[in-house]
Chains A and B, each alone.
Chain A
Amino acid sequence: MSADTTAATTDDVTLYDVDNPAPVIEPPRQRTKKTPRAPHKKGSNFEMYGWLFMRLSGIVLVVLVLGHLLIQLVLDGGVSKIGFAFVAGRWASPFWQAWDLIMLWLAMLHGGNGLRTIINDYAERDNTRFWLKMLLYTATAFTVLLGTLVIFTFDPNIR
């Protein structure tokens, strides 16, 4: 064994041998006896509702977002027509108010939940995961609330 290693090494000395093997690389957060499983909340269906919400909101968003893009960017003069007057004109109707409100909530929650799963998958340390999610929740809540506030309190006669 020693003859083999001395023959193989050139400048750096071999660190590992039979009595002193290299540490095996553990996969991240390997499930062993020592690492307790995530606390299992019995009867909690949060993940199921999250999954279901993604599917259902996705279907609705296809209609809402494509319709929104079509109206805003393609039909009747395209993007050049958009101005304060155009927005004011649309939000005079409760239909478009509701459309935009539903789209805002569904898109933000859909995207937020998607990012939540991505953070859960890719953040390696618990601390990183926690703070990324806090940042995500704050940003989502801020955008949703601000958007809702604007839709409900929009004043076309503002100076």
Chain B
Amino acid sequence: MATPVLDKVEAEAAASPYITATFRIRRFNPEISDEATWEDFQVEIDPKERVLDALHKIKWELDGSLTFRRSCAHGICGSDAMRINGKNRLACKTLIKDINPEKPITVEAIKGLTVLKDLVVDMEPFFQAYRDVMPFLVTEGNEPTRERLQSPEDRERFDDTTKCILCAACTSSCPVFWNDGQYFGPAAIVNAHRFIFDSRDEAGEQRLEILNDRDGVWRCRTTFNCTDACPRGIEVTKAIQEVKRALITRRF
């Protein structure tokens, strides 16, 4: 009795997993127009696939001029952050079935950075802010002959912020960054946090001083947009608050 039921389920699933989903993509091509426009694409796709697969299908089968960044396609390189249905996500980690394919799925470039073409933005201001917080180990004295050892507790202190992949989903979801590109942005603060709270590092004071700036952590309005946007689940706002606390307790 069990076998036919199983067969039936399998047969139904095998019949056609495909649905027709509409992808409404924000197109911008400076070689054609200075206006960005929405363009709809109908894609036959398995809803268990990802938005990135749909973009590939569009680029490879429907319109080769569609431009977007992706590298590893598995949620590690951080190249394909985009605004999907109004929320910053990685296209390679967003399943189509999770974002209601009944309605058109909007895909646009992340906000607050210059759009160069379609979904590609100029990441330079983002990486400039990242470089400004000195995201590398700084030590004094002679180099040890062995590894720089660290207790598991000391490692645990900044574990959350080591997960950042620099996709810019958080920074480009931050309203303070939108209206004024001068703010360091959540991603830079997260990467500063990673070294400030590292017991092996000796430049925490310098980094805190950089983030004590007019455009540093004090511009954070605690809107939690960054925490919601982070595809790696980093508690970004908490990290920013910890930097603020370190700045205050350092003074008093």
Binding site for B on A (CB under 8 A): 5, 8, 14-18, 21-32, 37-38, 40, 42-45, 47-48, 50-52, 117, 120-122
Apart from A24-B116, A48-B251, A121-B219: 7 A-B pairs, beta carbons within 8 A: A16-B30, A21-B31, A29-B180, A37-B182, A38-B182, A45-B251, A51-B218
**Is the contact region of chain A dominated by helix, strand, or loop, or is it mixed?**
loop
From A5, A29, A44, contact of B181 by CB (8 A): A29
A residues less than 8 Å from B244 (CB atoms): 51
Q: How far is the CB of A93 from chain B (nearest CB, A)?
A: 35
Kindly state whether residue B179 has any CB partner on chain A within 8 Å.
yes
In chain A, what residue has the closest Cβ to B210?
Answer: A40
Kindly state whether residue B176 has any CB partner on chain A within 8 Å.
yes
Contact with A along B113-152 (1 / 0, CB 8 A): 1111000001011001100100000000000000000000
Considering the chains assembled together, what is the distance between the CA atoms of A15 and B116 in angstroms?
A: 18
| CB atoms of B114 and A16 under 8 A apart | no
Kindly state whether residue B34 has any CB partner on chain A within 8 Å.
yes
A residues less than 8 Å from B216 (CB atoms): 47
| CB atoms of A121 and B179 under 8 A apart | yes
B residues less than 8 Å from A51 (CB atoms): 218, 244
| CB atoms of B34 and A23 under 8 A apart | yes
Considering the chains assembled together, what is the distance between the CA atoms of A31 and B181 in angstroms?
A: 6
From B32, B114, B129, B182, contact of A29 by CB (8 A): B182
Considering the chains assembled together, what is the distance between the CA atoms of A14 and B31 in angstroms?
A: 10
6 pairs of A and B residues whose beta carbons are closest in the complex: A22-B34, A21-B30, A47-B218, A22-B30, A51-B218, A30-B181
| CB atoms of A18 and B31 under 8 A apart | yes
Kindly state whether residue B16 has any CB partner on chain A within 8 Å.
no
| CB atoms of A24 and B33 under 8 A apart | no
In chain B, what residue has the closest Cβ to A121?
Answer: B179
Q: Please, could you name 28 A-B residue pairs with CB atoms under 8 Å apart, sorted by A?
A: A15-B33, A16-B31, A17-B31, A22-B33, A24-B115, A24-B116, A24-B122, A25-B114, A26-B114, A27-B113, A27-B114, A27-B125, A30-B114, A30-B125, A31-B125, A31-B128, A31-B129, A31-B182, A38-B182, A38-B213, A38-B214, A38-B215, A45-B212, A48-B247, A48-B251, A51-B244, A120-B180, A121-B176
How many residues belonging to B are interface residues under a CB distance threshold of 8 Å? 35
A121-B180 in contact given A27-B114, A47-B216 (Cβ < 8 Å): yes
A14-B33 in contact given A45-B212, A121-B176 (Cβ < 8 Å): yes
Considering the chains assembled together, what is the distance between the CA atoms of A21 and B115 in angstroms?
A: 13
Considering the chains assembled together, what is the distance between the CA atoms of A76 and B244 in angstroms?
A: 45
Considering the chains assembled together, what is the distance between the CA atoms of A29 and B214 in angstroms?
A: 15
Specify which of B112, B210, B248 lies most central, judged by the most chain A CB atoms within 10 Å of its CB: B248
A residues less than 8 Å from B63 (CB atoms): none
Q: How far is the CB of B174 from chain A (nearest CB, A)?
A: 11
| CB atoms of A27 and B181 under 8 A apart | yes
| CB atoms of A28 and B180 under 8 A apart | yes
Contact with A along B208-250 (1 / 0, CB 8 A): 0110111110110000000000000000000000001001100
In chain A, what residue has the closest Cβ to B111?
Answer: A27
A32-B125 in contact given A18-B31, A42-B209, A47-B212 (Cβ < 8 Å): yes
| CB atoms of B179 and A28 under 8 A apart | yes
| CB atoms of B114 and A24 under 8 A apart | yes
| CB atoms of B33 and A16 under 8 A apart | yes
Considering the chains assembled together, what is the distance between the CA atoms of A63 and B194 in angstroms?
A: 39
A residues less than 8 Å from B33 (CB atoms): 14-16, 22
Considering the chains assembled together, what is the distance between the CA atoms of A16 and B34 in angstroms?
A: 8
Q: How far is the CB of A71 from chain B (nearest CB, A)?
A: 32
Considering the chains assembled together, what is the distance between the CA atoms of A51 and B216 in angstroms?
A: 12
Considering the chains assembled together, what is the distance between the CA atoms of A71 and B112 in angstroms?
A: 47
B residues less than 8 Å from A14 (CB atoms): 32-33
Considering the chains assembled together, what is the distance between the CA atoms of A154 and B164 in angstroms?
A: 60
Considering the chains assembled together, what is the distance between the CA atoms of A52 and B245 in angstroms?
A: 10
